[in-house]
Structure 1
């Protein structure tokens, strides 16, 4: 469902050079008996590069790393939120156990004034504007959200050109939002010109069996490439968006964005806290990480070449589940641009290289499928340039040793033959 909220304006006390501009921003088959020894993809030169990581290690009570984050202060009239965002470590501090804790309290220790009068709550909001931006890649945060009516935690991104073009032309990518009256559901949403606020393009993800997101940590992520954004929770893909989804309006997401973390209290969408809401409430963040491949070009991945110098290719450039993965003349298309993740996945078009039905037999074909964290989607590279599925202990293989275009790829017992040799991002 779409996020039924108005713009989340950035606050008036951000870095002076951005303050005025940001005031109008929106928040919103073959082979013999040989077996290769596999090493994780993340240990190879072709592995995705970590461009931003905060594991929030440090003494309890410490403020966040100022080289990575700036802290916004002030209130937010646009959504009728109730909190005042404070500075330093008052409402955002490390817990000494590898977490950032953003705490919302029912208090006003400094007579803060909000749009509705004397503020009733305090909380915190952080962003990486002026410190870190990225165009494309895998963006994730592992977090445990608060609970209760009126709570509104979010992990999201804004276009770095917001000071020049304003919101919503800047674009907004909401990786995760949760509102307290939906304890089992989170939302991922896009906002841009012609599809902002309550008209944002999005979907929800609901935990099974009535579980609440506040009960445990979960990993919220987007995989972002040119003209493609895919959302997942704990590796489970629930939404994929392309320019075809914007109703003819401009796609505002092929440019650098910066990161934002915050915990709002009240507002048009979540509603205000009620008598059943207890304070303090906490958004606990285990890590924030951004990775991308090191192909040296766009940072969105690169080709994988094999037999006869041809490329690993997604048939017809389709991202439908079950689409064959094949050998084809290299042409530089997105169907041949693969991102190798530190989690062992190999991804293109927002989905994962997958062994069909989790098979382990020789000749099982490989395909494109929603990323789901299964062993069928885990791969490793040997020093001899084999790409191995550890579950099957078999190699990515060109069927019949044929270099003809559209030859299907499969898994087969590793033999060290030319049809099992691959150069990743080469």
Structure 2
């Protein structure tokens, strides 16, 4: 958690918002729990600006983070390349004689948001992009609560889907901010590419799967972090409401530090697409449910036994009590009076799932989300049918979330 380890870690741009934001979204905004889709593939002629029906272009500087850039209007620093990409370009220039908190601005860049044009509550939020390299570069894809105009930041909540600081070319960060856990106290984690790769070398996908009381981050389909209210130490969870999107490329600031002689200019954040798929799903109602998985089979307690250590498996759905699961308000999944349990408090791939006396431990917390995953927040892993099998008796386990069919579950 490199961001939290930095004594001077800054707020992201939110607290120094450089353009007035609407206090409420327009009629195009997705209502809570309503299905909605946002798609921008950035198709259009080279040189055209971002689609004004989808994006606002913010202008100004940001004193709160001590960033060095001035965000320009129109298509000055954000334009289509004619090949299906949006290019946000940071330049070491100031042809408009813009003034920043430190005097005449040294750099220009761009920042876009969807406030008043699109927001959503829950679902899958994804972008594919190629980030710039270089000391002082700070690209980000993130979200703010729609109510920021009335409640302010950090009460609005902030979900940072992807941030990179140039001195960490192979790492990105996913973080939440809210009341009592904002700025350098934000709660998050990092993801590092294997083998010394740099994110600037290729396009990568960055996403969150967001559902009631749960946010899971992924890079190129590899889930690396899940956050729930249990991570907040009793502080308020600020993420069960509509949020809007933000794309920006900052230059300098407390966290990344300023550019130096090694930093290439112009630097480009190249965005292939932004896709948001929301869900009609709401938290499962009180009562018992069947949970179906791959092949239409059911999550089942072997031999309908409630003895501690009884395997949890897949089995043909039969309506028995061994397949009747209660989704507890405490994050548990219960059957036959006992809890779904990760054996031995394990968090490794292959940790088998069993039935056990309910203890309140983190190995008994499971979160169904809008993407039809069931995650164990402690392990940051998904409930998985071993070997991608749907055969009767297939043992269930924890495994790194891959998005494959053997990790998809429907709470009926």
TM-score, structure 2 length as denominator?
Answer: 0.74
1:107 match: 93
8 A contact 2:129–2:273 mirrored in 1: yes
> What's the CA shift for 1:132?
1.1
The C-alpha deviation readout for 1:309-333, integer Å capped at 9, x for no partner, is 966785636686646499xxxxxxx
Tell whether 2:371 aligns with 1:354.
Answer: no
8 Å contact from structure 2 (residues 341, 353) kept in 1: no
Alignment of 1:256-295 (within 5 A): 256-295=242-281
SS in 2 for 1:163: helix
Q: 1:175 to 1:323 in 2, by over 3 A?
A: farther
Residue of structure 2 in register with 1:24 after alignment? none
Q: 1:108 to 1:220 in 2, by over 3 A?
A: same
Q: Distance in 1 between matches of 2:185 and 2:132?
A: 26
* Alpha-carbon distance, 1:251 to partner: 1.3
The SS at the match of 1:258 is strand
Question: Which has the higher relative contact order, 1 or 2, with Cα contacts under 8 A spaced 6 or more apart?
Answer: 1
8 Å contact from structure 1 (residues 137, 299) kept in 2: no
Distance of 1:224 and 1:280 partners within structure 2: 34
Instruction: Give the match's secondary structure for 1:308.
Output: coil
Q: Does 1:308 align with 2:319?
A: yes
| 1:370 CA displacement | 3.0
> 1:308 Cα deviation (Å)?
3.0
Match of 2:11 in 1: 6
TM-superposed CA distance for 1:221, in Å, is 1.1
The 3 A distance-change label for structure 1 pair 56 and 307 is: farther
Alignment check: 8 A CA contact 2:16 2:64 kept: no
**1:151 matches 2:137:** yes
- Counterpart position of 1:195: 181
Task: Work out whether 1:364 is the aligned partner of 2:403.
Answer: no
1:69-111 deviation line (CA, Å, top 9, x unaligned):
1110000000110100011111111111111111101111111
Distance change (3 Å), C-alpha of 1:338 and 1:122: closer
Q: Distance in 1 between the 2:148 and 2:352 partners?
A: 38
Deviations 1:202-221 (A, max 9, x none): 11111011000000111111
Counterpart of 1:102 in 2: which secondary structure? strand
* Cα pair 1:304 1:336 within 8 Å, conserved: no
**Unaligned stretches of 5+ residues in structure 1:** 20-47, 327-333, 380-386, 388-423
1:397-408 to 2 correspondence within 5 Å?
Answer: none
What does 1:48-87 align with in structure 2 at a 5 Å threshold?
51-87=37-73
Normalised to the residue count of structure 1, the TM-score between the two structures is 0.71
Partner SS for 1:237: strand
Matches within 5 A, 1:186-225: 186-225=172-211
- The answer on whether the counterparts of 1:143 and 1:283 sit within 8 Å (CA) in structure 2 is yes
CA distance in 1 between partners of 2:192 and 2:11 (Å): 23
Q: CA RMSD in A?
A: 3.1
Question: Are the aligned partners of 1:11 and 1:73 in contact in 2 as well (CA < 8 Å)?
Answer: no
| Equivalent of 1:170 in 144, 156, 170 | 156
1:119 Cα deviation from its structure 2 partner = 0.6
Give distance in 1, aligned partners of 2:284 and 2:18: 33
Contact map agreement 1:323 1:369 (CA 8 A) in 2: no
With over 3 angstroms needed to count, the CA separation of the structure-2 counterparts of 1:359 and 1:212, relative to structure 1, is same
* In 1: Cα distance, 2:104 partner to 2:369 partner: 53
**Partners of 2:374 and 2:44 in 1: how far apart?**
36
